[in-house]
Amino acid sequence: MASPQLNIRNKRARFEYHLEDSFLAGIVLSGTEIKSIRNGKASILEAYGIFHEGEVWVRNMFVNEYENGTFYNHKPRADRKLLLNKKEINRIEKFLKVKGNTLIALKLFLSDKGWVKIEIACAVGKKLHDKRHDLKMKDDQREMDRALKR
């Protein structure tokens, strides 16, 4: 059945992007989508946000079809509207106007009230040398931890 603690993460996001601002948003979902997400059948690895006609949408978020759904089932990769304040929408719009900036999904989770929320972040893509630097720092930290453990 459904897991009591839903926590779907995008683990590659912090490696691939410099994260600047993050926002918590609700998502407009249909009945079969929410049931499938509560069963843990969703992925946000390829999800990103777009600004369209004064609203923010998440695109390419995969929500598997509900196994008990009939012809009312949803499309797995449909665009889904995000519920944000007008102030947050304006900040995102200004950020996305700059070339090279993007809006990515970090985490999909259930709130205390049982609503599905998504954490999104304004991000700038990292260059190859930045990724190498991060890997080197991670390896150095791991070596220091090993040395302290001995």
Name all domains of the chain by residue range, CATH numbers in brackets: 7-149 (2.40.280.10)
96-138 confidence digits (pLDDT tens): 999 989 999 999 999 999 899 999 999 998 888 888 988 899 9
Q: Taking the CA atoms of the chain, what radius of gyration do you get in angstroms?
A: 18
CA distance 75 to 61: 11
pLDDT digits 0-9 by tens, 57-96: 999 999 998 888 777 788 888 999 999 999 999 999 999 9
| Token pair listed for 9 | 């993460």
Helix then strand count (H, E) for the chain reads 4, 9
Contacts of 46 (CB under 8 A, 6+ apart): 60, 61, 62
Task: Say how many CA atoms lie within 13 Å of 130 toward its Cβ.
Answer: 9
- Answer whether residue 4 shows pLDDT above 70: no
User: Helix or strand or coil: residue 70?
Assistant: coil
Q: What is the pLDDT of residue 126?
A: 86
Contact 10, 111 (CB under 8 A): no
**For 5, which DSSP code?**
S
Sign of the torsion angle spanned by Cα atoms 5, 10, 13, 15: positive
